[in-house]
Amino acid sequence: MSEHALDISLTVNGERVHERVEARKTLVDFLREDLALTGSHVGCEHGVCGACTVRVNGEIVRGCLMLAVQCDGATVETIEGLSDSGEIADLQAAFEQRNALQCGYCTPGMIAAAQDLLKRGGVPSRDEIREHLSGNYCRCTGYHAIVDAVEAVAQARAGAKP
Amino acid sequence: MKITDDSPPVLTALDRPNSYIGRSVPRPNLARLTQGRGLYVSDVTLPRMAHVAFVRSPHAHARIGGIAADAAKKSPGVIAVVTGAELAEVMTPWIGVLTHLKGLKSAAQSPIAVEVACWQGEAVAAVVARTRAEAEDACELVEVSYEPLPAVTDPETALAAKTPVIHASLGDNLCFERKLDVGAVDKAFAEADAVVETTFLFGRHTGVTTEPRAVVADWNAGEQRMTVYHGTQAPHMMQNLFAKHLGVAEQQVRVLTKDVGGSFGIKVHTYADEMATVALSKLLKHPVKFVADRIESFVTDIHARDHRVKAKIGVKSDGTITAFEIDDLTGIGPYSVYPRTSGIEANQVVNLVGGPYTCPNYRAQARVVFTNKNVMCQYRAVGHPLAVAVTEGLVEQAAAKIGMDPLEIRRRNLFPDDGYPCASAAGLKFEKLSHHESLAHLDALMNYAGLRAEQSRLRSQGIYRGIGFASFIEVTNPSAAFYGVGGARISSQDGATVKLDAQGNISVATGVTEQGQGAESVIAQCVATAFGVSIDKVRVVTGDTDNTPYGGGTWASRAAGIGGEAAWQAGKALRGNVLAVAGAMLQAKPEALDIRNGIVVDSGSGTERLSLEELARVAYFRPDTLPAGIQAELVATRHYVPRAWPFAFTNGIQASYLEVDTDTGFVKLLKHWCVEDCGTIINPQLVDEQIRGGVVQGIGAALFEECLYDERGQMLNGNMADYLVPMAAEMPDIECGHVVSPTADSELGAKGAGEAGTAGAPACVMNAINDALRPLHAQPLTDMPFTPDKILRALGKV
Amino acid sequence: MKPAPFAYRRARTTEEAVALLGEKDARLLAGGQSLIATLNMRLSSPALLIDINGVGGLGGTVHKNGKIEIGALVRHAQAERSELIVKYAPLIARALPHIGHAAIRNRGTLGGSIAFADPAAELPACLLALEGEVEATGPSGKRTIRAQDFFQGLFETALGSQDVLTAIRFPAATKDTRVGFAELARRHGDYAIVGLAACARADGERLSDVRLAFFGVGATPVRARRAEAALASGDVDAAVAALDLVPQDDVQATAKVKTHLAGVLLRRVAKQLMEERA
């Protein structure tokens, strides 16, 4: 086995995956090209825009700043998996109702980042929401609708707690 | 006795039962996007698909000597290395000129540079390989010998005798020049009580669409047909251009767009590397994919807004504006972009300065010059952000000079709401605007008096907040006057085909396209209302030249006003067709029937008579049961183009409230408002969201964005860490209000709304900063973006 | 862009990483938040990437002998959540939320930040202000390098080509410790235009042992020693006047602006130092 390409085994959206992958391939390219999970997007390849944000071992990361080979043995969750599990159903509904997405390209990363904030519990202020989402670039919405949607979900989740 | 009339209001054509017009319906088909199951062109893969990467000139201007490609051709995964000369066998070059911009000239541009590279980033060779990574590996092995040539990088000296001419065949570096002189400008300045003269500088911007430009071209040699998956706003235009430059018939080309990750005008232009990708597919008989990465996007996506405008305003002490004058200079790239030309932005600046005001004296000069930087062309709100900043900046500086409130000076000069139709000094024809009602609405919405009081109170504590305004007009729904008259194959009309299927559901194919603004939803709302079904029964097909009526696509805020009207008319026409069949089936007069909520009913009583599903079943499968002579026609197509007005002008007014940290020069945006009149509003939430997104793009212009070049024509900040786009933490909440002045040129009365936010935001942020700093006697800032550096210098702190 | 091809090996121990660094053109991969971005832009094309994320013993934070020792592989996000760091390294705790964004902090490591030594980064300045030290392992074994000797030039440190940074160490905060931190960035999470990491000891009503480490003002973080002395004597104006920084123009700001902003930050941080209660 060449050191330029390695075999990796990992879990992606609950499915076991075994692939041979070039060392230089980033996690997001691996997801998109090798696994055809095109819901995670490439926007800059230098870690600034956040379109590639996915979850690795429960934490959000930039898919363009991790190599696929680093994910051997890891648990990866992409927007497709988060969606099918139902974990973000209320966020998705709020985004759709409030038109917190227009072209939708930043949306998977934006929702992953929003869920990362909301998982911590409590009702963040609008400024706190803006700060937590400050690493996710959106050119379409101007962010106001996104903040509205995340705030509404935070309030609903807090209200739903016994 | 007071006689009051209690008649119900006269029903307009829009007062359909269960009307979706004016309703904030959530867009259908958003679930696929929130699930990550959309299909962007950058997601498309085809069998045998290859990837192209381009060898790009590191020099702003250089003669291309030899291209040694042997090592590259042997690199793993490489299919071909292709030069400009080789590609010229497959694709002809183009020239971006329009005849109605008199004197506009440009040199021919090739898909890959031949002989000379004219900007840093221009493609000089293409490497096609199995993967993008392998193509890039091979690009590093291509040896190009360049003979650097002097680069023209300063627009101010581009026309000087000593400056080299980029294209010898053109004679000089002048692309386009326009002059306008209306009224008696010199007399008006002489009679003014106060004159403000200043120079506005605007940074060069680029769109930074979240999904970069992407195209997959697939030439099928057996069918002799080119299929292009293209993230374009104008698929029919691209179909026409691909066909023209490949030398095939239009019907041999199909252009498909599905999801597009943002466009804003960036994706409505013809790009050399995209054309090259299409040509490469034909040459190599492979599908070929090109996705511009972010780094190459910065040096190849069109830039915009790089203007220097010297400007002057004259006012009387009673606030009457007596004259406007501008001298606009813009340095575009080495080519006028095809087919819309790079003269339009300056042309718009000349047209739009002074636009909201009655002042009849206006003189303007604009020159568009070639430089060896990246190409420039239309980007959201084309020319408006500049014209509005110039006009509104002058107006507020003039108000300050004569000691008048900035809203008051506007009240004294805006076109009166009851004075329409009329025309501006520059000759723009206005059907009906609402400057005064919008201003009054804004005044109340933002509690202007309250904010002034707060500003005053905080000033005494050494906290400097500012309030700035921008009134504006906005071009929407363009007729053929925009491009068609100049010879461009850009359609100003649009069409919709509406069809009832065998289950009684509706599909509508439209020539306008979707990049996130909600065109699909607007079309569905129009059809659902006009025809008479609930919106979940309507499926919209867009972005496919094989399967939609010939149309213009989405740009210049035309999708709702033009695409929507075509859809509305088609929906009505289909209802007529369906009721003709229903009448025959029910032995009733079609005029006594209606379709409501998917059921044929008696229009008077509302009694349900027949389901659409049943009608369709009979029409499609049991026409033998229909009366003799009936031929059911369950499809209708209608086209629409504005005829009465060259453009449907809209109007609005924005305000910015911000705080300047006078120690650091940092600006904190506290709040933003926009009151806008786009005529009939089809979906209020979508209009508000277009405004918000547009405002933030304008804020980017005012505070953050600028493509920086050195004197050698090298772009210095072409990445997302150094080119600063607005992110969530620095943006304010944006409150929107509306006034409605429908256009009579269509039954819907809808004008456009997509660009208004961007048109006004830079101006009002600028005015707010200057308002904040006024008590500190800072020289008013007019050089965007307003960085801490510039603010500190204006305050004399550095 | 896509990175140029490279070989990849996972090191299981520090010694293995040191040995692999002996190969031609090898780079260490820890958090990767800076490295992979440069690889993606082909600004760097190493032949071999040595992944040290699996090396044991480098991921903990301990409080011993009056010092805090943070393992090189501790992630920024981990550090944010660490009670030890919040309590005994308040300056670092103040700085951490300014580093990039949550997704970056989940992967980026403290060791990586120190070793990369971006002049506009927060943690190198913190370490300098804390008069901390860096522990490294190389071909001749372990050694300790003082922060003041560590940062040598633009992205240049005292680490040799075969050294692996294993930990950072600095005195734990006591009840007399006062810290102050401020940075100015155009957008939240951006690299700072100018920043200041400061600490001092409360000495009755006054401050002693003042350390002011500026970042974004030179090739390395810089101690403003003349300003420190003036601030210790209680005179903020004199401290600002005594600032002797020599920044360069860059894409973000001119030297003049950086100098001015450094003075503004000094005033703001001085207030924090005075008002701080440990």
Paired tokens of B223? 């069918």
From the list A23, A64, A66, the residue facing C49 with the nearest CB is A23
Chain B residues with CB under 8 Å of A151 CB are none
Both structure tokens of B367? 């020159």
Q: Whose structure tokens read 């040096």?
A: B299
Do A45 and A61 fall into the same domain? yes
> The CATH number of the domain where A124 resides is what?
1.10.150.120
Chains within contact range of chain C (3+ C-beta pairs < 8 Å)? A, B
Q: Which of A50, A82, A114 is the endpoint of a domain?
A: A82
CB atoms within 10 A of CB A150: 29
Tens digits of residue pLDDT in B239-252:
999 999 999 999 99
Q: Does residue A148 share a domain with residue A113? A: yes
* A95 & A76 share domain: no
CA nearest neighbour of B406 among B419, B423, B394: B394
Q: Nearest 5°: phi and psi at C124? A: -55, -40
- CA atoms of A24 and A7, how far apart (whole Å): 13
Give CA angle at B259 (B253, B260), nearest 5°: 85
Max distance between CA atoms of chain B, in angstroms, equals: 99
CA B592 to chain centroid: 44
- DSSP reduced 3-state for B456: helix
One-letter amino acid for residue B65 of the chain: G
User: What's at B664, amino acid-wise?
Assistant: T
Q: Cβ of A24 and B133 within 8 Å?
A: yes
**What are the pLDDT digits (tens) for B659-687?**
999 999 999 999 999 999 999 999 999 99
CA angle B279, B509, B212 (to 5 degrees): 45
Positions in chain C short of pLDDT 70? 276-278
Task: Map tokens 């049991």 to a residue.
Answer: B622
pLDDT of residue C226: 96
Q: Are residues A90 and A77 in the same domain?
A: no
**Sheet of strand B593-596, all strands in order from the earlier edge strand to the far edge:** B593-596, B599-602, B608-611
Residues A41 and A97 placed together within one structural domain of the fold: no
Q: Are A147 and A77 members of one domain? A: no
- A78 and A11 in one domain? yes
Query: Hey, how many other C-beta atoms are within 10 angstroms of the C-beta on B127?
Result: 30
Rg, C-alpha atoms of chain A: 16
Please name which of A72, A77, A32, A71 lies closest in space to residue A59, comparing C-alpha atoms: A77
Provide the shortest C-alpha distance from residue A128 to chain B (in Å). 9
Question: Which residues face B62 on adjacent strands?
Answer: B117, B148
- Yes or no: say if C67 and C169 are a contact pair by the CB < 8 Å rule: yes
- For strand B506-510 and strand B538-541, is the pairing parallel, antiparallel, or unpaired? parallel
Q: Give me the long-range contacts of C206-209 (CB less than 8 A, separation at least 24).
A: C206/C232, C206/C234, C207/C178, C207/C231, C207/C232, C207/C234, C207/C273, C207/C274, C208/C232
Chain A residues 117-146 with a CB less than 8 Å from chain B: 126-127, 129-131, 133-146
Put the strands of the sheet holding C7-10 in their side by side order.
Answer: C7-10, C48-51, C26-29
Chain B contact probe: residue of A117, A126, A139 with most B CBs at under 10 A: A139
Is residue A108 over pLDDT 70? yes
Are the beta carbons of B142 and B72 closer than 8 angstroms?
A: yes
Q: Quick one: tokens of B391?
A: 């006009």
Same domain, A92 and A116: yes
Q: What is the CATH number of the domain that holds A10?
A: 3.10.20.30
* Cis-peptide into B150, omega within 30 deg: no
Does the pLDDT value for residue A1 go beyond 50? no
Asked if A90 and A71 sit in the same domain, the reply is no
> Does residue A94 lie within any of the structural domains?
yes
- C 62-91 residues with CB below 8 A of A? 77
Nearest to C37 among A3, A46, A69 (CB): A46
Helix axis angle for C225-232 and C255-275, nearest 10°, is 30
Which chain C residue has the Cα nearest residue A46? Answer: C37
| 3-class DSSP assignment, residue B364 | strand
User: From the CA of B16, how many Å to the nearest CA of chain A?
Assistant: 24
Give the C-alpha distances (Å, rounded to integers) separating A31 from A65, B32, B529.
Answer: 13, 18, 42
B neighbour chains, 3+ CB pairs within 8 Å: A, C
In a domain, A162, yes or no: no
CB pair distance less than 8 Å for B36 and A97: no
Residues A74 and A141 in one domain: no
Which amino acid is present at B728? A
Of A20, A54, A82, which closes a domain?
A: A82
Domain end, chosen from A39, A64, A82, is at: A82
DSSP H or E segment with residue A118: helix A107-118
Cβ–Cβ contacts within 10 Å for residue B365, how many?
Answer: 17
Q: Which amino acid is at B769?
A: I
Domain of residue A10, residue span? 2-82
Q: From CA B247, how far away is CA B249, in angstroms rounded?
A: 7
Q: How many domains does chain A have?
A: 2
Same domain for A63 and A109, yes or no, is no
pLDDT of residue C205: 84
**Which residues on C lie below 8 Å from B716 (Cβ)?**
251
Subunits that touch chain A (at least 3 Cβ pairs < 8 angstroms)? B, C
Name the pLDDT band for A11 (thresholds 50, 70, 90). Answer: very high
User: A103 and B515: CB-CB below 8 Å?
Assistant: yes
Q: Are residues A142 and B757, on separate chains, in Cβ contact within 8 Å?
A: yes
Contact B562, B723 (CB under 8 A): no
Closest chain A C-alpha to C40 CA, distance in angstroms: 6
Q: So what's the ipTM on this one?
A: 0.98
Q: CA-nearest residue of chain A to C37? A: A46
Residues 95-154 of chain B whose Cβ lies under 8 A from any Cβ of chain C? 132-133, 136-137, 140
C184: nearest CB among B666, B730, B797: B666
Residue A40 lies in a domain: yes
- What is the least distance, in Å, from the CA of A160 to any CA of chain B? 23
pTM: 0.97
Find the helix or strand (DSSP H, E) in which C113 lies. helix C110-116
User: What stretches in chain B show pLDDT beneath 50?
Assistant: 1-2
User: HEC profile for B730-747?
Assistant: HCCCEEEEECCCCCCCCC
Do B304 and B205 meet the contact criterion of CB atoms below 8 Å apart?
yes
Most C CBs within 10 A among B134, B293, B661, B663, hence the mutation to make, goes to B663
Do A73 and A125 share a structural domain? no
The predicted structure's pLDDT at residue B51: 98
- Domain membership of residue A69 (yes or no) is yes
Chain B nearest CA to A108, separation (Å): 6
Residue A90 falls inside a structural domain: yes
A103 domain residue, yes or no: yes
Per-residue confidence (pLDDT) for residue C278, from 0 to 100 = 45
Contacts of C5 in chain B (CB under 8 A): 133, 137
Examine residue A131 and state whether it is found in any structural domain, yes or no: yes
Contacting residues of B for A111, CB less than 8 Å apart: 34
Size of interface A-C (CB pairs under 8 A): 90
Assess B689–A contact: CB distance below 8 Å, yes or no: yes
Nearest Cβ partner of A80 from B36, B45, B686? B36
Residues 80-99 (A) with a CB less than 8 A from some CB of B: 80, 83, 91-92, 95-99
At A23-79, the pLDDT tens digits run 999 999 999 999 999 999 999 999 999 999 999 999 999 999 999 999 999 999 999
Residue A113 lies in a domain: yes
Which residues of chain B are within 8 Å of residue C1 when distances are taken between CB atoms?
136, 293, 295
> What single-letter DSSP state applies at residue A34?
I
Coil, strand, or helix at residue B423?
strand
